[in-house]
């Protein structure tokens, strides 16, 4: 992707381009996720469980929720995924 600033700009642009109803739904999902983890700080930081099942950090989850709300397949991979630097692909 180049750098994380580009990914953050894309994420912000995609989020703002959602309808107000969808933005509220995405925000509600993220807030519920934060409540489930106990604190907002825990929601923002990557977490590792003993079973090696990887939990998503906040930006990774935010990206996934925004892309799911768009449902257009424009970005096939998440640039915030923790498994190394994975470039995202634009649909042609």
Q: Looking at the domain assignment, is residue 9 inside a domain?
A: yes
* pLDDT above 50: residue 33: yes
Number of domains in the chain: 1
User: Distance from CA of residue 49 to its chain's centroid?
Assistant: 19
Secondary structure of residue 58 in the 3-state scheme: helix
Phi, psi angle pair for 54, to nearest 5°:
-80, 125
Phi, psi angle pair for 91, to nearest 5°:
-70, 140
Which residue range forms the structural domain that includes residue 34? Answer: 4-70
Neighbouring C-beta atoms of residue 84, cutoff 10 Å:
5
Q: Looking at the domain assignment, is residue 82 inside a domain?
A: no
Q: Looking at the domain assignment, is residue 87 inside a domain?
A: no
The pLDDT tens digits of the residues spanning 49-84 come to 433 334 678 999 999 999 999 999 899 899 998 764
């Amino acid at each position: 992707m180049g750098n994380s600033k580009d990914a953050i700009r894309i994420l912000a642009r995609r989020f703002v381009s959602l309808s107000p109803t969808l933005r509220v739904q995405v925000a509600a999902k993220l807030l519920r996720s934060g409540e489930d983890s106990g604190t907002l700080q825990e929601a923002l930081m990557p977490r590792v469980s003993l079973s090696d099942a990887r939990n998503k950090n906040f930006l990774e989850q935010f990206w996934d929720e925004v892309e799911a709300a768009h449902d257009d397949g424009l970005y096939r991979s998440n640039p915030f995924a923790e498994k190394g630097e994975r470039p995202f692909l634009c649909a042609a």
